[in-house]
């Protein structure tokens, strides 16, 4: 059984257009599942950033957390990085963070878009 959407079919995340809309209760749990997945993706990315800033950028843990959070949130770095390896990491992490933000936002919006599209298809039938 699919734990995110509770449809009951392995390999299928959403109900088919010929099936009725999920109840609000089940839809609420689907949304929570997608938000949790999005938060987990962001958490893993934040962990990668903190480790990279700490070990490759030679920053203390708290400064590594601040810098990784700021880059991941799209604000930019706080502390300058002095070594070449750290600068290469920061460059790659900034590009990765920009794409990850788009992906995480897409995950969070997916249940709502699917429900809207499903509702439109129900009206066609």
How does pLDDT run across 30-84, given as a tens digit for each residue? Answer: 889 999 999 999 999 999 999 999 999 999 999 999 999 999 998 988 999 999 9
**What does DSSP assign to residue 18?**
T
Which residue has better confidence, 15 or 9?
Answer: 15
Residue 117 CB neighbours (<10 A) = 12
pLDDT of residue 11: 54
Break the chain into its structural domains and give their ranges: 45-124
Are the C-beta atoms of 14 and 117 separated by less than 8 Å? Answer: no
| pLDDT tens figures, 82-91 | 999 999 999 9
Secondary structure element (H or E) that encloses residue 48, with its range:
helix 24-55
pTM of the full structure: 0.78
d(CA 100, CA 89): 16
* Bigger pLDDT: 27 vs 97: 97
Pick the range with the lowest mean pLDDT from 7-16, 60-69, 79-88, 93-102: 7-16
Fold of domain 45-124: Helix Hairpins (1.10.287)
């Amino acid at each position: 059984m699919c734990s995110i959407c509770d449809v009951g079919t392995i390999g299928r995340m959403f109900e088919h257009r010929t099936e009725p809309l999920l109840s609000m209760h089940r839809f609420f749990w689907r949304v929570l599942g997608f938000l949790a997945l999005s938060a987990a993706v962001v958490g893993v990315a934040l962990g990668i950033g903190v480790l990279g800033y700490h070990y490759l950028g030679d920053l203390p843990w708290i400064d590594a957390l601040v810098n990784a959070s700021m880059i991941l949130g799209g604000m930019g770095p706080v502390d300058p990085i002095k070594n070449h390896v750290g600068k290469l990491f920061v460059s790659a992490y900034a590009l990765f963070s920009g794409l990850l933000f788009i992906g995480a936002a897409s995950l969070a919006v997916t249940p709502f878009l699917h429900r809207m599209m499903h509702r439109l298809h129900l009206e066609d039938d």
